[in-house]
């Protein structure tokens, strides 16, 4: 027998008339979200599809991995961000393919979403350069789940070291290896070193966390290849002051549950973090397209995909070149500017028929954090900043950039608190640590 | 070849001399932590063992389950709380048994921890009254993992309702049933109703979250059996104003993946939350003891376990009676007072030989939250408070009770923000939702 309570009334559908052109955006990262915001309030029907229910402020993921921030501090529900715009609809779903002839996107649950214009902003994932067997032993830093996994591994290793009797095993447990000398690797290594030196310093009885070894490995000849030489050198010195052991020009030979092998040398390590390789997500395969080495889709100056006039690629998904023909880097600011540009351009094109203008990137400065109050900031030829002033600027910019006011208030308070006390507020072990 | 970097030096052991009597505390909840704090700085060696690395402020778990707070807002690493006390050691480990003859605790990893005095403060777990097959369909609210699971289920159900085409399925997805009319059930039902009515109200296009059905089921004749009649009646009216459908005197007959059957009636529901049964954790079995119906260990007036002079039980683990012979309820304040009392008493007994004084409970008021700014507060015969003033008092008390200042600052700011805006800051779907 079925309960007889009256059903809720038919839902209100507050979207545009069905006749309006439909723009579908796959991915609610920096590019997709910026495009959706630019299209909000227009006469177009906009649909945002993402496999997560939240927009992730990915540049701060390393702070979740090192227990400084909670996942909710750097993530906000997509539908909440776009709640005020009746012409924008949000679908929590996973895209599995595109039918460019019928102009529709196929979701994993079998549903199809039709489009007039399709924006592919699916971001990037980590790659182990053909060594997928390394993945279980060296989580990367691309999602909240991975950040939580890294946090659990680092904290659990200290817990086990506290109880270990064998000095060699204790040393292995207190060794963290970060692979990759780009911004992710540099930020992770600095942040883990600080976690051990400050936040954990007084908490143990049988080990001294300040003697933990943090090793940063880079196959290339120097750190931060995308930054000017002097900033990279400064970053290296800052990390070394924090106790980070930097190994340049050393390629990874193998990673297993016991540790890592590097240029013929074995380093026993309980925790290995992967910050080395990034590749575009499979959007190119949906279109049957050839890509560059990192899986990106070559686009025209207006961000449309060559041969697919109704399909656009942006953010980490797109291989977009600047006026000199150099590929634009996979940065949040590139993605955001492309999203805003394309959203506005499509609004004008579809409602007033104006042609799509070309995208032009404006460099607002590229930063990496190298410790609690040190950073490097590169604004282009001859304009750079480093040290505390760069850190302050970075902190201010990132607080402002966070997507809504609630997050700004929360993050800045915690940063202030952490800054004043060296403490970490999110040191929870909540996923089962690996048994090794 | 092994890497040749010098090993970290032998660890500093800052604990007491090995000859000092050793007090082992199993469980770092309210009781165990209070006992550890009372013993901190004494001449005794204290060891706290918990299977989590954090102390959980369990009374606020429902706010994690309903996306108002992040896990880290209500949990703090045990070793961090006790960091300033060199005579206290913390072990992250799972107890599997006790050898009362050899006076040692056996951990799952095979290690043994010897004691002179043993405090069992292992808390309680949820029970399905013999229907363990209900558990996968009706998570309880005893851990961070469960709170995160409930949050994911509630939010995912709204996401699926947004895309459901069948009206009956849409109604099922928008139905939440909370089982149990005690404080946990009342707080969950009120908080879910508010989540739907306020936080989610404008975020969807095809459903109206404010029309979600929240049903609160209680097998007994009224809500909040431990509270006076008038407060329980007020709580019921407050919940009904929030739109909660209260079903009293209706026992659960079955729970499965499609919904719940209640007194012969089937209610299709995508989300069922279990707040009905609580039983003590298996500490009694370790001692081979008979327990009361809820698994608690009967204790003497000084909290020692009858027949085991070196073993004490406290908090939810203990069946402790007041002067009138009535069992003390399973409340944080009972646990905390017992921990503080026993810690101080043991310090005096073991260092000065004074006899253990009996424990006496002082009722500081028992509260339940029935909405965003309504609560009931019972301070004993004739002294009670309800409504906004009770909510304010509850909020103030809980902010102050949170274990350290960092948490106080964070929680109070978020509460204030949520209070002013009806928003929820932690609406993340981060564990895979059930497929049904």
- CA-to-CA distance for B407 and B396, rounded, in angstroms? 13
- CA-to-CA distance for B120 and B52, rounded, in angstroms? 16
Residue A93, chain B, CB below 8 Å: the answer is: yes
A342 touches A312 (CB < 8 A): yes
Q: Is A22-51+93-126+279-352 a domain of CATH 3.50.50.60?
A: yes
Question: What pLDDT is recorded for position B11?
Answer: 41
Under an 8 A CB cutoff, do A7 and B414 touch? no
Question: What pLDDT is recorded for position A9?
Answer: 39
B66 touches B184 (CB < 8 A): no
Residue boundaries of the structural domains of chain B = 22-126+279-352, 132-276
Under an 8 A CB cutoff, do A208 and B11 touch? yes
Under an 8 A CB cutoff, do B265 and A2 touch? yes
A426: nearest CA partner in chain B = B72
Interface test with B, best of A51, A428, A429, A433 (most B CBs within 10 A): A428
For residue B269, give both structure tokens: 């529901």
Query: Which one of B187, B240, B253, B300 is the catalytic residue?
Result: B187
For residue B65, give both structure tokens: 């389950």
- CA-to-CA distance for B188 and B165, rounded, in angstroms? 28
Q: Is B115 left (phi over 0), alpha (psi -120 to 50) or beta?
A: beta
For the domain made up of A133-276, give the CATH fold.
FAD/NAD(P)-binding domain (3.50.50)
For residue B129, give both structure tokens: 């009254």
CA distance A59 to chain B (A): 18
Under an 8 A CB cutoff, do B205 and A15 touch? yes
- CA-to-CA distance for B205 and A207, rounded, in angstroms? 55
ipTM for the complex shown: 0.84
For residue B307, give both structure tokens: 């027949």
Q: What residues 36-55 of chain B have any CB closer than 8 A to a CB of chain A?
A: 52-54
Under an 8 A CB cutoff, do A71 and B5 touch? no
Indicate the pTM of the whole model. Answer: 0.88
Sole residue written with tokens 């351009």: A345
From chain A, the residues in CB contact with B52 under 8 A are 429
A157 touches A171 (CB < 8 A): no
From chain B, the residues in CB contact with A432 under 8 A are none
Closest CA to B280 of B123, B55, B118, B95: B123
Under an 8 A CB cutoff, do B79 and A409 touch? no
pLDDT tens digit string along A71-94?
Answer: 888 888 899 899 999 999 999 999
Taking the domain B22-126+279-352, which CATH number applies? Answer: 3.50.50.60
Angle at B112 between CA B107 and CA B351, to 5 degrees: 115
Residue A297, chain B, CB below 8 Å: the answer is: no
Angle at B221 between CA B217 and CA B223, to 5 degrees: 60
Residues forming a β-bridge with B91: B49
Question: What pLDDT is recorded for position A409?
Answer: 64
A2: nearest CA partner in chain B = B266
List, by residue number, the catalytic residues of A: 187
A147: nearest CA partner in chain B = B430
Q: What residues 233-262 of chain B have any CB closer than 8 A to a CB of chain A?
A: 245
Residue A290, chain B, CB below 8 Å: the answer is: no
3-state secondary structure of A70: coil
Instruction: State which residues of chain A have pLDDT below 70.
Output: 1-17, 402-425, 430-436
Residues forming a β-bridge with A104: A99, A114
Tell me whether domains A22-51+93-126+279-352 and A133-276 share a fold: yes
Kindly give the pairing relationship between strand B124-126 and strand B278-280.
Answer: antiparallel
Residue A15, chain B, CB below 8 Å: the answer is: yes
Under an 8 A CB cutoff, do A428 and B111 touch? no
From chain B, the residues in CB contact with A407 under 8 A are 425
Under an 8 A CB cutoff, do B11 and A213 touch? no
- CA-to-CA distance for B348 and B42, rounded, in angstroms? 9
Q: Is B132-276 a domain of CATH 3.50.50.100?
A: yes
Q: For B203, which of A73, A80, A413 is closest by C-beta distance?
A: A80
pLDDT in tens, chain B (436 residues): 344 434 343 444 445 567 899 999 999 999 999 999 999 999 999 999 999 999 998 988 998 999 888 888 888 889 989 999 999 999 999 999 999 999 999 999 999 999 999 999 999 999 999 999 999 999 999 999 999 999 999 999 999 999 999 999 999 999 999 999 999 999 999 999 999 988 888 899 999 999 999 999 999 999 999 899 999 999 999 999 999 999 999 999 999 999 999 988 999 999 999 999 888 888 999 999 887 788 899 999 999 999 998 999 999 999 999 888 899 999 999 999 999 999 999 999 988 888 899 999 998 888 888 877 889 988 888 888 999 888 888 888 777 776 655 566 666 666 666 666 655 667 777 665 444 3
Interface test with B, best of A425, A427, A431, A436 (most B CBs within 10 A): A425
Sole residue written with tokens 């590097």: A262
The conformation of residue B93, written as its DSSP 8-state character, comes to: -
From chain A, the residues in CB contact with B204 under 8 A are 11, 79
A420: nearest CA partner in chain B = B406
Sole residue written with tokens 């009694």: B284
pLDDT tens digit string along A290-318?
Answer: 877 888 999 999 999 999 989 999 999 99
H/E element holding B126? strand B124-126
Q: For A410, which of B13, B86, B414 is closest by C-beta distance?
A: B414
CA distance B206 to chain A (A): 5
From chain A, the residues in CB contact with B258 under 8 A are none
Question: What pLDDT is recorded for position A8?
Answer: 40
B169: nearest CA partner in chain A = A7
First to last CA, chain B: 53
Residue A373, chain B, CB below 8 Å: the answer is: no
B161: nearest CA partner in chain A = A11
Q: What is the CA radius of gyration of chain B?
A: 23
Q: For B203, which of A15, A79, A211 is closest by C-beta distance?
A: A79
Residue B71, chain A, CB below 8 Å: the answer is: yes
Closest CA to A237 of A374, A131, A77, A99: A374
3-state secondary structure of B72: helix
3-state secondary structure of B349: helix
Q: For B406, which of A2, A84, A425 is closest by C-beta distance?
A: A425
3-state secondary structure of A184: helix
Sole residue written with tokens 């200042």: B405
Question: What pLDDT is recorded for position A7?
Answer: 38
Q: Where are the beta strands (DSSP E) in A213-333?
A: 213-218, 244-248, 252-256, 259-262, 265-268, 271-274, 278-280, 297-298, 304-305, 308-313, 318-319
Residue A85, chain B, CB below 8 Å: the answer is: no
Question: What pLDDT is recorded for position A75?
Answer: 87
Question: What pLDDT is recorded for position B304?
Answer: 96
């Amino acid at each position: 027998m079925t309960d007889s309570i009256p059903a809720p009334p038919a839902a209100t559908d507050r979207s545009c008339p069905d006749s309006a052109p439909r723009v579908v955006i796959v991915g609610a990262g920096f590019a997709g979200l910026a495009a959706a915001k630019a299209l909000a309030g227009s006469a177009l029907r906009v649909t945002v599809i993402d496999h997560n229910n939240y927009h992730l402020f990915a540049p701060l993921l390393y702070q979740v991995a090192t227990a400084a921030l909670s996942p909710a501090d750097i993530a906000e529900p997509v539908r909440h961000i776009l709640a005020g715009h009746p012409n924008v609809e949000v679908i929590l779903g996973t895209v599995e393919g595109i039918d460019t002839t019928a102009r529709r996107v196929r979701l994993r649950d079998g549903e199809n979403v039709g489009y007039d214009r399709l924006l592919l902003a699916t971001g990037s994932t980590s790659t182990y350069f053909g060594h997928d067997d390394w993945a279980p032993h060296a989580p990367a830093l691309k999602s909240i789940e991975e950040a939580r996994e890294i946090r659990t591994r680092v904290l659990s290793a200290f817990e086990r070291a506290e109880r270990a009797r064998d000095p060699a095993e204790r040393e292995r447990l207190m060794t963290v290896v970060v692979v990759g000398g780009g911004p992710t690797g540099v930020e992770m290594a600095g942040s883990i070193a600080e976690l051990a030196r400050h936040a954990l310093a007084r908490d143990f009885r049988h080990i001294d966390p300040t003697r933990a070894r943090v090793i940063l490995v880079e196959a290339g000849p120097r750190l931060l290849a995308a930054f000017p030489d002097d900033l990279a050198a400064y970053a290296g010195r800052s990390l070394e002051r924090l106790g980070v052991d930097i190994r340049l020009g050393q390629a990874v030979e193998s990673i297993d549950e016991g540790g890592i092998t590097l240029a013929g040398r074995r380093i026993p390590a309980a925790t290995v973090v992967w910050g080395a390789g990034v590749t575009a997500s499979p959007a190119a395969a949906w279109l049957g397209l050839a890509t560059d080495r990192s899986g990106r889709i070559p686009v025209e100056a207006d961000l449309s995909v060559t041969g697919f006039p109704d399909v656009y690629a942006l953010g980490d998904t797109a291989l977009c070149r600047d006026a000199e023909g150099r590929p634009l880097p996979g940065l949040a600011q590139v993605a955001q500017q492309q999203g805003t540009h394309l959203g506005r351009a499509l609004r004008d094109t579809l409602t007033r028929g104006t042609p799509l203008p070309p995208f032009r990137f404006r460099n607002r400065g590229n930063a990496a954090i190298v410790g609690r109050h040190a950073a490097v900031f590169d604004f282009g030829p001859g304009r750079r900043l480093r040290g505390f002033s760069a850190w302050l600027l970075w902190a201010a910019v990132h607080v402002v950039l966070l997507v809504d006011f609630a997050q700004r208030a929360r993050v800045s308070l915690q940063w202030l608190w952490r800054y004043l006390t060296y403490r970490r507020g999110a040191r929870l072990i909540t996923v089962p640590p690996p048994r090794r």
